[in-house]
Structure 1
């Protein structure tokens, strides 16, 4: 059957070039492999084939990228990817966000960065091109299998972004949303005419951070492959030491951009998510943090080796584990195993077996390169294939079998590497820089292992059919350990740069440390006494740990800033390490201060209690309900819900909230927004809005709101006849008629001498709460009502009207209705010193880049 309106050419081009990418990457990997093994005469031919294949791969990836972008840009809903991730109302700036929202698009982004980095290696790393690019091309081959989308027998290999909607098995889902045909019948030739819109990009992701954060993060992911490839190349070519010098700049690049990508995600969370912070120890966040921490450890052990000859084995191990944990984080994110514990995880799309295979192959790749001979490598290849197949068939039958395979691979690598890599027999001096750098690297590595163990509990539960929970307070379980790590790392970061490699003169060391130590002690004392940290939520013991961590991180910040002038004579181009350490310390100081001194501003003083439900993270007492147009006190501000506006195309409301300081002339307006997430079960979602100061932020988000329905109020008044000083009860309190007066002269248009006017003074008393006054007016003539007023007590959702009046009695009409109350419930925090976190990140990245540039210049000078 020919289907009307389908645009098949972009998909056909995409399909074809996926196959080209798959074949070209495998060919490049094989050709580079042969180039390493070949004689000098044959090497040139293999290199030529490898380069042609890799550049073909690059071209194929660019075409795939362009084809998918074309499908998304023109909303070609005949393709599942376009229907699933876009809509006609999706703004142009979010088309790229839709590109990498899905698993296939994010894999393409990762592949694209591998292409870019590979081209740079081919141009710059001539000596190491063949072994390094063999690893890079092999990784590209595996990423290509992730998007090929074919079945081998009953095993699904990859998920193709160019699959048609009618072939995807989700037309029944489409029918429930935007299609009005019967999906139980054969698909009609003109089915596209009935698809009126796409499924849209998740509203949570319609944010400018979604445009810029994933590219940087995936550049960081991709960059971890390069130091790993250099380490494997060193093992493979038996140049056990020479690879380190070439790998250090790449490692610095990876530390800079993976760290930047992670913290851009934290900034996005701070600006756009309503959990009131920037880091929630989310499993997917942790899975990206752990490789960065291991990479930092590897960077420092490489520097130790470069200057002293120690820690080469540790460098091999750390760089291998850094990339392996990147692959593991891919498994965690894409397998669906974290679907119930992370807001970032993708749903399972039936590729768990392939993801496990991806992980197992790269776990066993280091032993392959560390093997002594080609015969041994062949044996390890066979073992890897057997274990991969065994994992597929035995994973469900033998609890924990995949974990045993992974641990066996790591253990095999350590054994083979230790046999191959020499160690320095001479003992290190306790006064040397390398000794304490190694201690710091080891502590940082162990901290990463603790984080990944806690993060992997859902995986362990799946592997062992158990149900172990991390504890009631998951965040505290992480913090109580990591705050002690911060103390140790802070102290080591402060003192290590003042030490010399191999040995340090004690007197000289103490003289250099004296001034930074005194300044740090003064600053830390000032913070503890004047600024104060009284975070007692988890007891005095945890508070003392926070104090210790603060002192240590202040010490790290000031000592490294001082070292730029004391140790490096102010030469900024040589001070990349100190700048990075300064930024790291500053970031930790900001994290400790902003988290421990975070203050709730929105304590409920309005008397209006909005129930959030038992399962909600929100507490009524911590949320202030604002009635539209009514100023209410919030800490040192008078806050007014001024108004709101709707998104022109989406169910999204933007609120205008005015703050006026009670202690100064300052006033400002914040614009938080909220929407009901129609693509999930999260209910009301909110994008925060903040007022930024140099020393704190006022952070707000909408926790609930109510607007009268378009149909209007349909509840009628209930008449109540009572005497003066009697009361009428309503759901939240009672109403008292305090005074009634007859008038023969009222300033009302049309009032004549034959008319009779009545005014009633009414008091509304909320039970155990506020009281409100109201004046009602009624004009009658010959028993007929000519004019009457009604008064709305918005804070009580109450409308009053004077129905009738006599000498000492009245009839009051009472109506309780939510439609009279337009309100907004706001959660507000004060985040002190949050800008120290972001400033620290900037300095950390700048310092890493400066150090990288310096290393590259040194390599050029050495080559010259």
Structure 2
């Protein structure tokens, strides 16, 4: 049996420490949960102190788990399944770091550690809410901790351990290879990280996304604390900064994912409506709606039921996003989803527990929620309320379409996902975007409470006038012709002008600055997306004499022969150099433009590359030249990878035996073996010091004759083979070896390799406006976050 085998070379101590502290961390989180629950119910300070102490010990255990896990990754201990599956010895440190969250077990561990950090902050800032909030946080840690347990009580899967040994995997049970005590010596390297993840964005994108996932728990914890005691007002001030933080961090994670897709994938875009991308966008939209209804709670003392519901849904949908990604239910509908691993039941149970707790408290308080007098139609709060509902409707359209595989699994149906995914979602979401832009502009013009209709018409009329002037100018500038896109463009202009107007009307005070900048930035972001991706243009088109296959391939790709310029719209493009670094091939492509004098001047160089990976498939990494006016996005669609890796500039045509006076034909030449000479320094031939010279008469198609000599030299036992180059015909003739037949030799002819690549280049105009919008939005949200934290501290 395997248990009796004494394995050689395994490093079991870090794994044993890590796994032991997983159990300890779970136990401590549960004890903290019990102490905090008891402290709130019994109003016992001692229990509260014990709850705090056990949570600190729980978090300390998580740090030990994280250190143990990173230690086995860093030291390439391939006896651990996770290390073997997601790392390799050649990976640099930055990709070892990203391997931490490359797999399910590591990403869950990252999530629970980040959530633990936020819990530590709450431990010292929640003040009077500590017992109630930390009951929820500790309970959340218990539930999340079970995802990395890696045990099967009564056959029920409870998590997957990051410290599972490779030989202990169910798939390896009974495998003869692991019967060998010294099996580890035969594992020379790991499987390596997915080559798509070998990107700097993947070092930053997942941690920020999981920070957003973890942060979504905090407003939920405050909402539960509020419902627990039917205290509908005092929770808003401490919870609101956390809501802003959750929106910022989750939004930042989503945006970094889009940046990774834009910089690293070849579909040529920022957002492809992939189901896993959608899964993170859905809770963000709902949390954004919840953030706006919380403002209504503070300002007008109503809409509490909606706020609680949106906060709950935002957190639940974060768990649902994880379910979609990790349960295997998406199958092949997403490029990012993990395979099925038996955790789906556990995640459904987790969502069920959260829902039961929430709805018991929600309906218990349903008749107690404060209600204010009905909002005026012409009031900011009314249109904020409508805007929040529109955000949630937008989220649910994405949710229903993304959940088609789940619906099919539950009901046994066979509904097909949208065949043209991007077109489908764009068609549905564009009206929502238009409505949100209009509602943004209206709410920025209106004040809270009652507004005079004549005053509103006057202000909004000026905004419409300015917006239409900008709109007409933009039609001629950006050449947008699609009617739906034009409607969106006009609505964006109205929102932009309204945001600037709001800023000036309120004289740049801190509140108006944060409000104006966040909405201005969001409108700029949508504007940048619309212009960049609706007016993008593929500038590559095959003008070579070589056919690339079908019509689409020839229309969108350009074949570049090394050191020969080809025209790409307003550019002249030249493939100049190939650089090899381990399993990466880097291709230098220079872009030229004519200056005022009509002379070609190099504008920039892009270096698209290929990450050659035999096990996981080659990855074609694009490179983008950025400027304010446009991005030029370029990637390799074809290259002769095998020859490029060998660094061989010739390809062999043939190898054959030639006897004295035989003739061979190569291209436009005939070669007759005229004589064979043998030279040696000694009278008796020394086989370690001898030269054999084959003399050929070469005749070309113009009847020009020349003698060429190919030598086969042995000097002090070292062999040198001669060759003759014919650059005009791009081939060479080589002396390979002496034949076993009398007066015979073996020669080879090689053709100079045709060095070329095929590229696709796309121009995205003014995409920098999109990133400017992101920056402005986050500045606005940051100002709001700082302002609300200051208010909290002062009170």
Does TM-score exceed 0.5, indicating one fold?
yes
| CA separation of 1:608 and 1:572: change in aligned 2, threshold 3 A | farther
Which of 829, 841, 849 is equivalent to 2:782?
849
Secondary structure of 1:4's partner? coil
Partner of 2:415: 468
Alignment of 1:37 with 2:41, yes or no, is: yes
Which of 189, 195, 203 is equivalent to 2:195?
203
Superposed displacement of residue 820, structure 1: 2.6
Superposed displacement of residue 778, structure 1: 4.3
Secondary structure of 1:434's partner? helix
Which whole-Å deviations, capped at 9, do the CAs of 1:303-342 have from their partners, x for residues lacking one? Answer: 1121112311111111110001001001001111123011
CA RMSD of aligned residues (A): 3.0
| CA separation of 1:84 and 1:818: change in aligned 2, threshold 3 A | farther
Structure 1 residue runs without a partner (length 5+): 173-181, 373-416, 535-542, 719-734, 738-754, 761-775, 794-798, 802-814
Superposed displacement of residue 559, structure 1: 1.8
Q: Distance in 1 between matches of 2:749 and 2:245?
A: 64
Partner of 1:384: none
Q: Distance in 1 between matches of 2:131 and 2:535?
A: 53
Alignment of 1:265 with 2:199, yes or no, is: no
Aligned residues: 724
Deviates more, 1:684-693 or 1:581-590: 684-693
Deviates more, 1:501-510 or 1:182-191: 182-191
Alpha carbons 2:502, 2:512 under 8 Å: kept: no
Which of 770, 774, 784 is equivalent to 1:837?
770
Q: Distance in 1 between matches of 2:28 and 2:642?
A: 61
Q: How does 1:181-260 map to 2 (within 5 A)?
A: 183-184=175-176, 187-260=179-252
Q: How does 1:588-603 map to 2 (within 5 A)?
A: 588-603=526-541
Alignment of 1:547 with 2:480, yes or no, is: no
| CA separation of 1:787 and 1:351: change in aligned 2, threshold 3 A | closer
Q: Distance in 1 between matches of 2:704 and 2:779?
A: 74
Alpha carbons 1:114, 1:223 under 8 Å: kept: yes
Partner of 2:590: 658
Deviates more, 1:515-524 or 1:462-471: 515-524
Partner of 1:419: 367
Partner of 1:675: 611
| CA separation of 1:262 and 1:503: change in aligned 2, threshold 3 A | same
Which of 426, 432, 448 is equivalent to 1:485?
432
Using structure 1 for the length normalisation, give the TM-score. Answer: 0.79
Superposed displacement of residue 512, structure 1: 3.8
Partner of 1:331: 323
Which whole-Å deviations, capped at 9, do the CAs of 1:779-835 have from their partners, x for residues lacking one? Answer: 2479x9x99946468xxxxx799xxxxxxxxxxxxx999973222111110001111
Secondary structure of 1:485's partner? helix
Q: How does 1:246-645 map to 2 (within 5 A)?
A: 246-370=238-362, 372=364, 418-424=366-372, 426-534=373-481, 543-566=482-505, 568-572=506-510, 574-611=512-549, 619-645=553-579
Secondary structure of 1:715's partner? strand
Superposed displacement of residue 849, structure 1: 1.5
Q: Distance in 1 between matches of 2:411 and 2:749?
A: 56
Secondary structure of 2:176's partner? coil
Superposed displacement of residue 245, structure 1: 2.5
Alpha carbons 1:564, 1:572 under 8 Å: kept: no
Superposed displacement of residue 684, structure 1: 3.8
| CA separation of 1:611 and 1:63: change in aligned 2, threshold 3 A | farther
Q: Distance in 1 between matches of 2:146 and 2:249?
A: 26
Alpha carbons 1:457, 1:469 under 8 Å: kept: yes
Which of 631, 639, 655 is equivalent to 1:705?
639
Which of 13, 17, 20 is equivalent to 1:13?
17
Structure 2 residue runs without a partner (length 5+): 657-666, 669-695, 711-722, 734-747
Alignment of 1:858 with 2:784, yes or no, is: no
Q: Distance in 1 between matches of 2:284 and 2:306?
A: 16
Using structure 2 for the length normalisation, give the TM-score. Answer: 0.86
Alpha carbons 1:287, 1:452 under 8 Å: kept: yes
Which whole-Å deviations, capped at 9, do the CAs of 1:585-613 have from their partners, x for residues lacking one? Answer: 0000001111100100111112323348x
| CA separation of 1:500 and 1:610: change in aligned 2, threshold 3 A | same
Q: Distance in 1 between matches of 2:472 and 2:177?
A: 76
Partner of 2:96: 95
Partner of 1:743: none
Alpha carbons 1:236, 1:370 under 8 Å: kept: no
Q: Distance in 1 between matches of 2:361 and 2:33?
A: 14
Alpha carbons 1:777, 1:788 under 8 Å: kept: no
Superposed displacement of residue 242, structure 1: 2.4
Alpha carbons 1:708, 1:821 under 8 Å: kept: no
| CA separation of 1:149 and 1:638: change in aligned 2, threshold 3 A | same
Q: Distance in 2 between matches of 1:288 and 1:496?
A: 27
Which whole-Å deviations, capped at 9, do the CAs of 1:669-700 have from their partners, x for residues lacking one? Answer: 111111344444xx442111111111110010
| CA separation of 1:437 and 1:488: change in aligned 2, threshold 3 A | same
Superposed displacement of residue 367, structure 1: 1.5
Which whole-Å deviations, capped at 9, do the CAs of 1:227-260 have from their partners, x for residues lacking one? Answer: 1111111111111232222211111111111111
Superposed displacement of residue 123, structure 1: 1.1
Alignment of 1:143 with 2:82, yes or no, is: no
Secondary structure of 2:579's partner? strand
Which whole-Å deviations, capped at 9, do the CAs of 1:167-223 have from their partners, x for residues lacking one? Answer: 124559xxxxxxxxx942662222211111111111110111111111111111111
Partner of 1:162: 163
Q: Distance in 2 between matches of 1:34 and 1:306?
A: 30
Partner of 1:25: 29
Secondary structure of 2:302's partner? coil
Superposed displacement of residue 504, structure 1: 1.0
